[in-house]
Amino acid sequence: MAKAKIWSAERSAKNSKADAGLLIKKYNAAWGVAPKSTLFLRRPKMIGSGKNKKRATMKNAKGVEVPVPQKANRALRTPAIKTLFSGAAAQVTGMLKREAEQLKTPIEGELKVAASLPSLSKAAEFAFEHALSAYAQTLFSTALGLKTSIAQHGKISAGAMSAAVELVNGRVFASASLAPGIVVPIAKKPRKKRALKPKADDPASSQ
């Protein structure tokens, strides 16, 4: 039986989909070690003092005495991240509802008794926390640069922070959108007309 012909564009699309799935697995594997990494863990709980100071222990579900697990040093907790993602899902649902009204098409939409809540792995939570922390650091760094360049305030003012938010958001959304948020038309300078040179047989040029 002859194999079905696959067009090059379709094959490339399948390859891209498979590559995206593979990178998702690798991304989860990379961030999945964050809860066990020393950089993301708080100090272990200790008991005693001096030479008698040792790691605190507990009994697990099997009755075996094990060290008390270290807690992760988180900037955002899971409920806060889920609340943000639920709000983002509600924003998307609202956008779909407005488009459906324009197209006069009935849709199911989000249930009033149960809000949308995208599923998140621990790796995705750490990755989102990392991105949000980097965003906050970029805001503060930009505001600090504005304060230093203006040199009018000893501390970062609310105005400098507001300006930093506008600058950073402009860069972030411009890099993630299909087109720039602001289009600035640039008028070209009119070309100067060159003066016509008189011809040799022109009687005005011979006088």
Question: Is residue 94 in some structural domain?
Answer: yes
Length of the chain: 207
Residue 191 lies inside a defined structural domain of this protein: no
Give the pLDDT score at 184.
Answer: 62
Residue 172 CA, chain-centre distance (Å), reads: 8
Instruction: Show pLDDT as tens, one digit a residue, over the chain (207 residues).
Output: 556 666 777 888 889 999 999 998 898 888 888 778 887 888 888 888 888 888 888 888 888 888 888 887 788 888 888 888 888 888 888 899 999 999 999 888 888 777 788 788 878 888 888 888 899 999 999 999 888 887 777 788 888 888 899 888 888 877 666 666 566 666 667 777 777 776 666 555 555
| Residue 57, φ and ψ in degrees, nearest 5 | -125, 165
| 35 exposure class (CB count in 10 Å sphere: 0-12, 13-18, 19+) | middle
Which runs of E-coded beta strand occur in 25-126? Answer: 46-47, 54-55, 57-59, 65-67
172 domain-assigned: no
Residue 13 domain-assigned?
no
Strands 65-67 and 54-55: unpaired
Q: Total domain count for the chain?
A: 1
pLDDT score of 42: 83
| Assigned domain for 65 exists | no
Vertex 180: Cα angle to 139 and 161 (nearest 5): 20
In this predicted structure, what is the pLDDT of residue 99? 92
Residue 190 in any domain: the answer is no
Round to whole Å and give the CA distance between 38 and 165. 32
Alpha-carbon distances of 68 from 43, 48, 58, 64, rounded to whole Å: 11, 15, 6, 12
Domain that holds residue 100: 74-110
79 close to 56: Cβ distance less than 8 angstroms: no
pLDDT at 178: 67
Residue 3 lies in a domain: no
The pLDDT of residue 2 is: 59
Tokens of 142: 């930009």
pTM of the model: 0.57
**Pairing status of strand 65-67 against strand 57-59:** antiparallel
- Confidence at residue 36, expressed as pLDDT on a 0 to 100 scale: 80
